[in-house]
Structures are given as C-alpha cells and as structure tokens.
Amino acid sequence: MDNFSLTCGQITGLKLLHRTLRDRRLAYRLNAIVLLGSGWSIAAVAEALLVDETTIRSWQEKYQQGGEEGLLTVNYQGKSPSLPDEQQEEPATHLDENMYLDSKAIRHHIKKTYGMQYSSGHVLKSLN
C-alpha cells in the first residue's frame, strides 16, 4: 500500500463525487483517499481526520481493490435484518444444496433472493 498516488484527474473526480455525498462517513473516506493520493502519509491523514491509522489503511485498501464503489460500500448498517420465521430454514437448505467459496457469494444470494443486505460477519455467524 506504499507509494499510493492519484492522477490530477482522479483527484478531481473524487472531489466532484465528494460534493454529491450526504453521508459524512463516506465523505471522510473520500477525503482520506484524496489526501493519500496527494502525497500525505497515513499517519498525517489519520491525525487530520481524527481516525486511527488502521481505518485509513482499510479505506485505502477498499479503494485500491474496488475503486469508488468499493470505497463507498458500507458493509455494516447496524443490526442485520432477520428473515421472517417462515423463511428461516430456506437459506440453510439452499446452502446444503449449493456450494459457495466465500461469504460474498452467499451475501449476494441473500440480497438477490430476499432483498436483505447482510455483512460478512453476520453471514459467518449464521453459519455456525
């Protein structure tokens, strides 16, 4: 993750996107990436935004792996929703009949099938 830099065009695009955001948490993420891409150190960005360095590294990694979309995806939305009682058995039956290689694929299936968004942690807890 060292030697992270952005082009002037990328920085301009991120600044334009920043203006459209209403969620302050997401704006902080964009701020961090713009500052890192402008040559700031992780420690300096963390100090300026009043967050820890681990958070800054996590945001940088999200951006490097998924671009703007990856950075702005919030996996934790508070308590995960629960399926109605009559649907509780369906995911377990589905998983018995189908093989998934990671929790991301399971989360995608749940969202597509039931319209609910679960975090990876919640999916993993549910499987235990």
Dump pLDDT digits (tens) for 95-118.
778 888 777 888 888 888 877 777
Q: Which two tokens stand for residue 67?
A: 């671009």
pLDDT in tens, 7-48: 999 999 999 999 998 888 899 999 999 999 999 999 999 999
Predicted local confidence at residue 117, as pLDDT: 77
Write the pLDDT tens digit of every residue in 58-109: 999 999 999 998 898 876 555 555 666 666 677 777 777 888 877 788 888 8
Distance in angstroms (rounded) separating the CA atoms of residues 98 and 74: 27
Note whether 57 and 1 are within 8 A (CB): yes
Helix 120-127, helix 103-114: angle, nearest 10: 90
pTM of the full structure:
0.59
* Rounded-to-integer distance, Cα 17 and Cα 19, Å: 5
Q: What is the reported pLDDT for 128? A: 55
Q: CB 46: neighbour CB atoms within 10 A?
A: 19
